[in-house]
Each structure stands twice: as C-alpha cells, then as structure tokens.
Amino acid sequence: MKKTPLLFLVLLIGTGLNAFAQVDFDFSFSQLKGNGVIPFANSLYQDPGNASQLVSRLSPLVQGAGEFNSYEVVSRRYLTKKIERVIVVLYFERLPIYMRIDYYDTSKGRICLPASVSKEASDILPFELISASGR
C-alpha cells in the first residue's frame, strides 16, 4: 500500500522534468521559426560565444533551405551520468539540417555545450541509427 504513493510521486516528478525540458526546446525552435538563427542561438545559450559559434555554423546551412517548418528529436541519451546528447533534425522547406547538442550537468546547473550542425546525416547521426534505416 505504501509503495503506490511513492511510485506515483516518482512518475509525476519524472514526467514533469521531461515536460520542462521539452518546453525550453520548443521555445528555442519557435525563435528559429519566428525570428531567425540569432534569436534561436541566444535562446539555447547563455554564453554569447557559444551562441555566436552556432550562428556562424548554422547560418550558411539555412541559406536557400527555405522556411523552417518543424523539428524532431531523433535521439536523446546520456553518454555519461553528467552529459546528455540530444540529436535533432530541423525540417526546412527544401532540406533537413541535423544538429547535435550536448548538455553538461555542472554543480552550478545544466549548460549547453557548442552544437554541431550539418546537412549530412552521417556527420551527426550515430552509425547505428543510419545503418538501422538501411542507408
């Protein structure tokens, strides 16, 4: 009987944390759709250097890609107990752009490390994902 409330509490907290992380991601991508690459990068990074680095990497890729439509989280897993890797596909009108972001849990909070972006799936996606899809 006592295990049921504890299980409910664990599920509730886990769901709430996942939803919190998703809301932040949704906000960042809404910035890309509504305002462009610079506000998108600034919403992901507190550090202006990392934001500037993402802008310089992403801007040439989105030129000629058309309008940003949506994104999809392809993979989200912990590499270590302190580093989470998130792989996202950004769907533009004319082509997809692949993005890898690592999050690092520090003693002062979670930070977003510099992102990698590419038009080539093989540059970003893990080999297991590409080989599983038959490519």
- More confident position, 97 or 45: 97
* pLDDT confidence band for 24 (50 / 70 / 90): low
Name residues whose C-beta falls within 8 Å of residue 10's C-beta, 6 or more positions apart in sequence: none
Structural domain of 36: 3-132
| Stated pTM of the model | 0.76
> Quick one: DSSP state of residue 88?
E
Cα–Cα nearest to 29, from 79, 73, 64, 59? 73
Query: The domain spanning residue 114 has which CATH number?
Result: 3.10.450
Residue-wise pLDDT tens digits, 59-107 = 999 999 999 999 999 999 999 999 999 999 999 999 999 999 999 999 9
Domain count, the chain: 1
Provide the 3-class DSSP secondary structure of residue 97.
strand
Q: Distance (Å, rounded) from C-alpha 90 to C-alpha 29?
A: 9
Average pLDDT in the 6-24 region?
A: 40
Write out the H or E segment, with its range, that includes residue 104. strand 96-106
**Band (133; pLDDT cuts 50, 70, 90):** low
